[in-house]
Amino acid sequence: MEPLPHLNGRGEVRMVEVGDRPHTLRQATAEGLITMAPAVLQAVMEGSSVKGDVLAVARVAAIQAAKRTSELIPLCHPLALSGVDVAIAPQQGRSALRVEVTARTTGPTGVEMEALTAVQVALLTLYDMVKAQDPAMTIGPVRLLRKEGGRHGAWSHPASARSALSVEG
C-alpha cells in the first residue's frame, strides 16, 4: 500500500504539495437529496414559503460554499473556480428535492470537495429555510457522481447509471 500523501515521513498531517502538477481542466459533479412533507415541497416549488424564494437562496449558498471549501476542510487547497452550476429539482414520487452541483477549475488539483461541500450547504440551507414547516426533513444520501481531469482522468460513481437520486420517483 502506498503511503498516504497527506502524511509526512513522521506520520504527521500535512497539506499535499501540488505546485509541480500540471494545470488541467478539472470538473466534479456531486448530488444529494432532502426529503420533506409533500405540502412543504409544494410550497417550495410554488415559491410560497414564508421565507420567499427558498431555491434561489439555496443556489447562492451552494456557490458560496464551493468558493469557501478550503476554509472549511482543513487540508483542501484554495482553488480559483471557473464555474459552479447548481440544479435543484423536485423528486415528486419521493417528496424530495435533488441538488446537483458541478464545479470547474483549471489547476493542479481536483474540485470534488468543492462540489460535495456545495451540495451539503445547499441541502442545509433548504432545511434551514423550511424547518419551521417540517423539522422531520431528512438529508441524504450525498455522493460524488463523477470527476474529470488530472492524472487519474475521468471517473464515474459505479451506481450513477442506476441512481436512486437521479430517477424521478
Q: Higher-confidence residue: 160 or 122? A: 122
The dihedrals phi and psi of 53, each to the nearest 5 degrees, come to -80, 85
Integer Cα distance of 71 and 68 in angstroms: 5
> How much is the pTM?
0.87
Can you give the length of the chain in residues?
169
List % helix, strand, coil for the chain (3-state, nearest 5).
30, 30, 40
Integer Cα distance of 62 and 56 in angstroms: 10
Average pLDDT in the chain: 88
pLDDT in tens, 107-117: 878 899 999 99
- Name the active-site residue from 20, 53, 85, 128: 128
Contact between residue 141 and residue 165 where contact means Cβ atoms under 8 Å apart: yes
- 68 lies in some domain: yes
Q: The CATH number of the domain where 140 resides is what? A: 3.30.70.640
Q: What is the pLDDT of residue 168?
A: 43
Active site residue 128: yes
- Cβ-proximal residues to 79 (8 Å cutoff; 6+ apart), any chain: 69, 70, 105, 107, 109, 111, 114
- 167 lies in some domain: no
> How many structural domains are present in the chain?
1
Mean pLDDT computed over 54-58: 97
